[in-house]
């Protein structure tokens, strides 16, 4: 399983740095100072103050600003073990405190800054030039806290356009627009279901979509009529003999079937409802089937990771051995399917994008 960090990991690391102390930017030509004012656990925001003594700014008048939870999560999602990350590229021009977050992380023991080579291709000529500043997460060799440290690396970066997951227009069923459900939340839930259908199609799966979501219109077509979406659970050979299982499965957000005899994953999308309700539906479905190999998966926003792992660790759901499928992983895989039309991979490929929740169990 690939090691990853979360927003709470980053916020805890910053919280261990002393407050009310001046921190220098990584680039020595940047003469401003950063002060950590307050840290809200577990996932931020982080409040900081900035001033520039070379411009005559008094420290007492340092301007207060915040590093948002959303910004911290975007950086956390980009970090991989021993891989240089360009914070400016991750955040673009979206946040005016991006260099502050980069600086504070560099002052924590597990993060170094580095300048990997940059591959530059012009016509038929390819050269490697000195690259831009990157952060590198190296937890196995921490440096002294409250200082920054540079690491040399032989890694070179070949920059490609940022991958994006693109959704066509989504029209929700009338029942959802008339019952007071937050439309933005319902639309996001539908987008993730659509991404899962398209991922399944690319991997050779047929997909069941929850009965109450089959009226969603996507790209002017009902989701129930999309290629690879199955019409009736009772037509699936694997469930044909189990009426209780068919009933239990009807409201599960997404079930992948393969070759008429395999069920690669059972997935509940928990965007706003409690994680426990999805786990309960999956447990009821599991109990109505004979022991069968599959993945029992909670798909949820990245920022809900700790809540998902906590709920999955409760004793009544242990038999599911639940997996966490973050939205960032779903959309990364969906984008890959859109761009490359992947094929020929086994469904174990999915495990690269999911996190096992069992380590939290005693």
CA atoms within 13 A on the CB side of 236: 26
Checking DSSP bridges between strand 217-218 and strand 156-157, what pairing results, if any? Answer: unpaired
Q: What pLDDT does residue 287 have?
A: 96
Q: Which pLDDT score, from 0 to 100, does residue 339 have?
A: 85
pLDDT tens across the length of the chain (362 residues): 346 799 999 999 999 999 999 999 998 889 999 999 999 999 999 999 999 999 888 999 898 999 999 899 999 988 999 999 999 888 876 678 999 999 999 999 999 999 998 877 665 566 777 778 999 999 999 999 999 999 998 888 777 666 678 888 888 876 554 445 567 788 888 999 999 999 999 999 999 999 999 999 988 899 999 989 999 999 899 998 999 999 999 999 999 999 988 999 999 999 766 799 999 999 999 999 998 899 999 999 888 888 898 899 899 999 999 999 999 889 989 988 888 888 888 888 899 899 888 754 44
CA–CA distance, 20 with 49 (Å, rounded to integer): 9
Predicted pLDDT of residue 346:
84
Binning the chain into helix, strand and coil, the percentages to the nearest 5 are 35, 25, 40
Q: In this predicted structure, what is the pLDDT of residue 125?
A: 62
Q: Shortest CA distance to 317 belongs to which of 357, 281, 283, 270?
A: 283
Crossing angle of helices 98-106 and 7-15, rounded to 10°: 70
Please report the pLDDT score of residue 316 as a whole number: 93
Q: Three-state DSSP class for 323?
A: strand
Burial class (CB in 10 A: 0-12, 13-18, 19+), 184: exposed
What CA–CA distances, in Å, run from 7 to 71, 74, 105?
9, 8, 12
- What's residue 359's pLDDT? 56
pLDDT at 134: 94
Give the pLDDT confidence score for residue 1 in this predicted structure. Answer: 38
């Amino acid at each position: 399983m690939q090691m990853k960090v979360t927003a709470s990991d980053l916020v805890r690391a910053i919280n261990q740095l002393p407050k009310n102390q001046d921190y220098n930017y990584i680039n020595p030509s940047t003469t401003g100072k950063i002060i950590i004012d307050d840290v809200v656990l577990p996932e931020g925001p982080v409040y900081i103050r900035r001033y520039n003594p070379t411009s005559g700014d008094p420290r007492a008048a340092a301007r207060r600003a915040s590093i948002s939870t959303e910004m911290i999560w975007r950086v956390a999602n980009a970090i991989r073990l021993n891989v240089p990350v360009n914070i400016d590229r991750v955040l673009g021009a979206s946040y005016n405190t991006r260099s502050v977050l980069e600086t504070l992380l560099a002052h924590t023991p597990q993060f170094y800054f580095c300048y990997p080579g940059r591959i530059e291709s012009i016509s038929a000529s390819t050269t490697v030039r000195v690259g831009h500043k990157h952060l590198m997460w190296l937890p196995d060799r921490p440096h002294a806290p409250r200082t920054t440290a540079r690491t040399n690396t032989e890694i070179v970066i070949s920059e490609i356009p940022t991958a994006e997951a693109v959704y066509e227009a989504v029209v929700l069923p009338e029942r959802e627009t008339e019952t007071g459900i937050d439309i933005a939340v319902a639309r996001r839930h539908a987008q993730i279901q659509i991404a899962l259908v398209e991922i399944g199609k690319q991997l050779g799966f047929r997909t069941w979509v929850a009965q109450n979501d089959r009226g969603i219109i996507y790209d002017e077509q009902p989701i129930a009529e999309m290629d690879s979406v199955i019409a009736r659970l009772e037509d699936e050979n694997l469930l044909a003999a189990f009426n209780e299982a068919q009933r239990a499965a009807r409201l599960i957000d997404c079930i992948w079937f393969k070759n008429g005899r395999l069920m690669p994953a059972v997935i509940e999308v928990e965007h706003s409802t409690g994680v426990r309700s999805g786990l309960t539906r999956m447990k009821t479905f599991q109990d109505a089937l004979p022991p069968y190999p599959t993945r029992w998966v909670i798909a949820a926003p990245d920022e809900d990771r700790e809540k998902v792992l906590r709920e999955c660790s409760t004793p009544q759901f242990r038999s599911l051995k639940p997996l966490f499928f973050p939205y960032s992983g779903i959309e990364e895989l969906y984008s890959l399917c859109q761009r490359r039309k992947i094929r020929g991979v086994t469904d174990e490929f999915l495990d690269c994008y999911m996190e096992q929740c069992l380590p939290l169990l005693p």
